[in-house]
Structure 1
Amino acid sequence: NVVFAKKQIVPTTVTIREADRTELFIRRHIEMPAGSRCCKLHTVDKRLIPEAFQSLAPHKVQYRLFSRQALINLLKSYRTRLNNNKHLDFDECMCLTDADYIKLTGFTRAQHAHTLSHIPPTSLKNSATRSARSALAYVLMKLKLGLSDSVLTSMVGVNSKRQMSRIINEARVAVTKHFVPRYLGLAHLTRQDVINKHTSSIANRLLTEG
């Protein structure tokens, strides 16, 4: 008799970032050692998704001594999070869930990251006032919700309406140049794709039957 062994597929893992480990300690009182890894399925754009934060459970309870610098860094992170908590924050992974993303932008977190991946950093740069990720979110919010620049300014904490207008314009130009051509019209499809995936049965009959 021949026995076939089923090959076990090991999912790809990624190192959990320091920002996520700090957030986990603040929110859940769970301290995660540096270098800890998790399944890639629990991350989007290399950051833990909110659902992963909620599902984590402590492995064991033990006392630990923290250095003075570690406590200072923790307090700084906590202060930064409190200062940013009054506005929508698309850079902080725990602030918005997938459902929040869909309501605000029409995209899931993964779709948002996918859209951003098509835009090169030279076209939509990170700045002191906003990240490329946030800039994309602002223009998507404007498209979905029809909000004015002044309302968006208050919601996300940008300094002025003029600055928000500039951010939205930069993001719009970048999306139009690098993302839209890949998914609008037929230019991104091959002839075979059109035949196999985008031709109705009626069109097939009209074109193939004499």
Structure 2
Amino acid sequence: MPRSKSCGPKSYGCFNCQRRTRQKDRYPIHKKYKSLLYKPTGRTPCETDSLCNRCRHMFDSILRRKDGKKKSSTSLQQPEEKVLHPSQQAPFSPPSVTLPFPCTTRGHSSCCLCKRPGPKLVVVPVDVRHRIFISHEIVIPAGARCCPNHLQRNIEKISPSAETTTVNRSYISQLIRFLRTEVLKTEKTRLSFDNSSHLIDSDYVDLLGIPKAAYDDLLKYVDGRVKSTPSRTVRTSLAIFLMKLRGGDSNKVLSTLLNISKSGIRRSIKVIRSALIDGNFVKENLGFQHITREEIIHQHTRPLAQTLFGDNTQPQVILVLDGTYIYINKSSNFKFQRQSFSFHKGRQLVKPMVIVSTSGYFLSVLGPYFAKDNDASILTHIMRSNLEDIRNWVEEDDVFIVDRGFRDSLTYLEELGIQVKMPSFMEKGDKQLSTDAANTSRLVTKIRWVVESANARIKQWKYLSYILPSSQIPFIGDYVRIVCSICNR
């Protein structure tokens, strides 16, 4: 009768190390070994199990050491141990625990990761085993071997051999210590604004553009209007918004620095912008209604401006006006594309109108307007529409200091009783300005430079100096007003 294909020579493995043994190297397991075998294996041997010669010698030496300790301890008087109540005793912990994590093989003949046989295999280091557990949630037993090239590049595919793994106390304690060390490293290197002692004042200035005290003051305006989430607090959300404006970093970079998803970065920017605009922060620090004429005259007007253009008989408000440019991407809407194209700059942009005092204090920011609108038409629209009730705030004989781009609005402003100071023009046929016209232009320039400096302070917030995407065009005015309010505050 032919032999069945399923039948084959029976393999006998060592009960302790699972190594295949020959018939002459098999030794039956004595009763005195059973208690010792239960600790490393977690199993109780039966009558058919056997040990290899090396394991038998190992357990013999362990028993001899234990017998020697017992003999030495019997000669000494041992104090009576206090018997604890069963409720006070520590819970029993088995020497090995089965965990629901897949594991690889422990053999030395093939790679534990790719299963390739080979003579040139290396033992997987402890730190690599721990990192594989963190990244792939797979346990590699101690002593397992792998191909050398796996240690020099990222390990992507691992084929486990079992769905569960049995580990002892030493491996669990070693893994917990490694995880604790990694967490401490992460906490030290991760950028966090929740801990007040994590960053110093200069770090706040470098990252957010404002010192720590100003950041805490700004936090009061958003604390009640923004809710914390499991992934970010209100402090972190405000820091994300300021880092976006100050550094102009992409959401991907902010996500990496703060360990928050890109969608969480977008939501943080949205809620903080709405809280600052709809709340009291911008209303208290920007606009014609947040400050009185007397405060502008006595606190935010330079004596040089009063000497050059003021009237000693009655106090006057002296304001400096100019438009600034915020560059945007080319829109797919053809009509808006034509309206936002500047022939002067040769690119797409929008123009907020900035109004400052002679000391550089931001009084108001209006707009933004299309690039096709020049400064004169923008100022005329502001006065005719009475934006922010400007016509009731400005009185007769107040002084507007402007550049030559406002020349078409001079007639309308003079009808309102407003004095306009502007650099002079050369008459037709002249090659240079007259002495009086040149001196007048120099005096205007000596006062008007503060609005150029104010525009430069706005562009120090790098997000507004970059080309903004089309999705952010509706919020450009909000960003500029928030930046100006922070500068005033």
Q: TM tier, shorter chain?
A: 0.5 to 0.7
Q: How far apart are 1:193 and its partner, in Å?
A: 1.1
Corresponding letter in the other structure for 1:130: R
- Residue from 231, 234, 238 that aligns with 1:129: 231
Q: Which residue in 2 is equivalent to 1:162? A: 263
Cα drift, residue 86 of structure 1 = 3.3
| Counterpart check, 1:92 vs 2:195 | yes
Q: Deviations over 1:29-68 (max 9, x none)?
A: xxxxxxxxxxxxxxxxxxxxxxxxxxxxxxxxxxxxxxxx
**Rounded Cα–Cα distance in structure 2 between residues aligned with 1:162 and 1:119:** 20
What amino acid maps onto 1:162 in structure 2? S
CA distance in 2, matches of 1:181, 1:117: 15
CA offset digits 1:58-82 (Å, max 9, x no partner): xxxxxxxxxxxxxxxxxxxx99765
Unaligned runs of 5+ in 1: 1-77
The counterpart of 2:214, out of the listed 108, 111, 128, is 111
Instruction: Work out the CA distance in 1 between the residues paired with 2:238 and 2:211.
Output: 13
Task: Output the amino acid matched with 1:138.
Answer: I
1:12 matched residue in structure 2 = none
Provide the residue aligned with 1:44 in structure 2. none
Alpha-carbon distance in structure 2 between the residues aligned to 1:86 and 1:157? 11
Q: CA deviation at 1:134?
A: 1.0
Q: CA RMSD in A?
A: 2.4
Tell me the distance in 2 between the aligned counterparts of 1:108 and 1:186. Answer: 27
Counterpart Cα distance in 1 of 2:210 and 2:251: 20
1:22-171 equivalence runs, <5 A: 83-121=186-224, 123-158=225-260, 160-171=261-272
Does the 8 A contact of 2:223 with 2:234 survive in 1?
no
Distance 2:257 2:223 in 1: 27
Structure 1: which amino acid aligns with 2:263? Answer: R
Task: Tell me how far apart the structure 2 counterparts of residues 196 and 167 of structure 1 sit (CA, whole Å).
Answer: 39
When structure 1 is superposed on structure 2, of 83-92 and 93-102 the one drifting more is 83-92
1:199 to 293, 297, 301: 301
- TM-superposition CA deviations, 1:69-101 (whole Å, max 9, x none): xxxxxxxxx997655333210011221110111
Q: Does the CA-based 8 Å contact 2:254-2:265 persist in structure 1? A: yes
Q: Name the counterpart of 1:180.
A: 282
Higher strand share: 2
Structure 2: distance between partners of 1:109 and 1:169: 22
Q: How many residues align?
A: 132
Cα distance in 2 for partners of 1:148, 1:202 equals 43
CA distance in 1, matches of 2:195, 2:182: 14
Partner AA of 1:116 in structure 2: L
Q: Percent identity?
A: 31
Cα distance in 1, alignment partners of residues 234 and 216 from structure 2 = 11
Greater CA radius of gyration, 1 or 2? 2
Give the direction of change, closer, same or farther, for the CA distance of 1:186–1:137 in structure 2 (3 Å limit): same
User: Where does residue 33 of structure 1 map in the other structure?
Assistant: none
Letter aligned with residue 106 of structure 1: G
Which SS does the other structure have where 1:99 is aligned? helix
Q: Distance in 1 between matches of 2:190 and 2:201?
A: 17
- Asked whether the equivalents of residues 202 and 211 of structure 2 are also in contact (C-alpha less than 8 Å), the reply is yes
CA distance in 2, matches of 1:136, 1:169: 10
Contact 2:219-2:238 within 8 A present in 1 as well: yes
User: CA offset at residue 120 of structure 1?
Assistant: 4.3
- Structure 1 residues 120-146: Cα deviation after superposition (integer angstroms, max 9, x where no partner): 41x111221111111111110010101
- The residue type equivalent to 1:154 in the other structure is T
- Aligned-pair CA distance for 1:202: 4.6
TM-score (norm 2): 0.25
Deviation >4 Å, runs of 4+? 78-83
Please give the alpha-carbon distance, in whole angstroms, between the structure 1 residues aligned to 2:184 and 2:298. 50
State how far apart, in whole Å, the 1-side matches of 2:184 and 2:195 are. 9
| TM-score between both structures, scaled by the size of structure 1 | 0.56
Question: Structure 1 pair 208/166, CA: closer, same or farther in 2 (3 Å)?
Answer: same
Distance in 1 (alpha carbons) for counterparts of 2:231 and 2:266: 13
Q: Which amino acid aligns with 1:177?
A: D
Amino acid at match of 1:192: E
User: 1:192: Cα distance to partner?
Assistant: 2.0
Change (3 A) 1:175 1:84: farther
The amino acid that maps onto 2:273 is R
Partner of 1:48: none
